[in-house]
Structure 1
Amino acid sequence: MTAELRIRPAGPADLDAVLAFWKTAAEGTSISDDRDGVERLVARDPEALLLAERDRVLVGTVIAGFDGWRCHLYRLAVDPERRRQGIGSALLAAAEERFVRLGGRRGDAMVLVRNETGQHAWRAAGYQPEEHWRRWVKPLAD
């Protein structure tokens, strides 16, 4: 029998494990994938970084950021050995519940163009690419 999945917000003690997890489970890296960046996230919004655990082992993450106006989803990552077990869906459901509680009306996801696995997962969850938008970015730090 598979242990129950537990979803909870990350705390400061979880951050090293999250960063190590992203190196194996997340596609690509971000300029903010460092201890300082994740510490700032958790300090600013303690409920934004959601963790999925099974038997106290980290098996998935999602960042459910809300700026008071829009709902943004980042770093949906599931342990490659545990994909297709409903972990990603459970994380997204928890993120969407959070957004509704906060008054959010629409979630948007950041997905790398080359991340076909991620694109498939987002489509399966009901998210669709908006063809008329192209994201423009500018790094603010080296």
Structure 2
Amino acid sequence: MRGMNDPRIRPASADDLDAVLAFWKVAAEGTSISDDRTGVERLVARDPEALLLAECDGDLVGTVIAGFDGWRCHLYRLAVHPDRRRRGIGSALLTAAEERFAALGGRRADAMVLDRNERAHHTWHAAGYAPEPQWSRWVKPLPE
């Protein structure tokens, strides 16, 4: 049973996308090339359960993208509103993402976490995630 301050976790719908994009400008560290309406619409159309939202009293207070490609589980855009941090919202989002992965048969999750976002490192460590120093992330923006 949820308490009065416990977040309600639910998948995003197409009606939420503008609010999500505005939220990321306030709550997420940095932006991504895919932080636009087209990119997020594509995500929700392809996997309607992947973008999870946390709401408290009807307000959007957190997000996480819990993507599964059939082989690996990937976490992106864990973000909690700055005024709501340190209240368990990030942990609730990660729990919901991990439950989704387990239901899909996922066995390993990786998370994209900015090295410079040291405030987030505590949350990830507390949830049981650790950096893998043997791996280097290589990225290339694809043409639109």
How does the TM-score come out when normalised to structure 1? 0.97
Residue 86 (structure 2) aligns with: 84
Residue 30 (structure 1) aligns with: 32
Q: CA deviation at 1:2?
A: 4.0
Residue 41 (structure 2) aligns with: 39
2:51 to 35, 49, 52: 49
Residue 113 (structure 1) aligns with: 115
What CA RMSD, in Å, does the superposition of the two structures yield over aligned residues?
A: 1.2
Stretches of structure 1 lacking an aligned partner (at least 5 in a row): none
SS of the residue corresponding to residue 48 of structure 2 reads coil
Query: When the two structures are aligned, how many residues end up with a matched partner?
Result: 142
SS of the residue corresponding to residue 79 of structure 2 reads strand
Q: CA deviation at 1:3?
A: 3.6
Percent sequence identity over aligned pairs: 77
SS of the residue corresponding to residue 50 of structure 1 reads strand
In structure 2, distance between residues paired with 1:10 and 1:110: 20
Give the ranges of 4+ consecutive aligned residues of structure 1 lying more than 4 Å apart after TM superposition: none
Residue 124 (structure 1) aligns with: 126
SS of the residue corresponding to residue 60 of structure 1 reads strand
In structure 1, distance between residues paired with 2:6 and 2:108: 29
Superposed CA deviations along residues 56-93 of structure 1, whole A, max 9, x for unmatched, are 10000000000000000000000111101000000000
In structure 2, distance between residues paired with 1:4 and 1:87: 8
User: Kindly tell me: are residues 54 and 110 of structure 1, through their superposed partners in 2, closer, same or farther at Cα, counting changes over 3 Å?
Assistant: same
How does the TM-score come out when normalised to structure 2? 0.95
Superposed CA deviations along residues 18-40 of structure 1, whole A, max 9, x for unmatched, are 00000010001100000000000
In structure 2, distance between residues paired with 1:36 and 1:82: 28
In structure 2, distance between residues paired with 1:130 and 1:58: 32
In structure 2, distance between residues paired with 1:87 and 1:141: 35
In structure 2, distance between residues paired with 1:50 and 1:141: 27
Superposed CA deviations along residues 83-133 of structure 1, whole A, max 9, x for unmatched, are 010000000000000000000001100011111112221111110000100
